[in-house]
Copies of this chain bind each other. A is one copy, B any other.
């Protein structure tokens, strides 16, 4: 089947596309993303986005949003990770974490699937890990250079895309989506 991904982020598109390929799903990019709402959970954000997109787009589509949540920073940067990345960036997070022993963090990916004018299903993938002590790696995007998923010693930015997809929040959400779509058809 062909699935449309409403995103302007080519990194996300590539990551999700690679996972869904394994399920025989062909991913195509579509520029449908309107205003996102402010909400504490990315799931609420994508749910709202999916409802808006569904009103004007009848083909099968997904929309995704992700957040980095640092435990000792009360889940900051959370749903505004993209804005925080563009302003204080990974270096800002490391500065906020100076002297902090508890470096636990989570990456969340929320996806919403819609078709025929309706939001049909939501998926969440979570990667648990820690914030590194310095910026490491050049791969990936966003806060990848400072996040080390549990089970690895590398940051996401030190991994190939396939390796990152094994550990990552987005890879996990995409696999659940892929399995659900496979069972459904």
**Which A residues lie at the B interface, using CB under 8 A?**
35-40, 45, 48, 73-80, 83-84, 86-88, 92, 95-96, 98
Contacts and interface: CB of A to CB of B under 8 A. Distances in A.
A92 B80 contact: no
Contact of A76 (B38, B73, B79, B87): B87
Closest 9 CB pairs of A and B: A76-B87, A35-B37, A74-B87, A36-B38, A80-B80, A76-B88, A73-B88, A38-B38, A95-B96
Nearest to A44: B35
A92 B78 contact: no
B87 A78 contact: yes
Given A35-B37, A37-B35, A38-B36, A75 B87 contact: yes
Nearest to A72: B88
A68 to B, nearest CB: 12
A83 B80 contact: yes
Nearest to A74: B87
A48 to B, nearest CB: 7
Contacts of A39: 35
Contact of A92 (B38, B86, B96): B96
Contact of A36 (B37, B73, B78): B37
A86 B74 contact: yes
Contacts of A88: 73-74, 76, 96
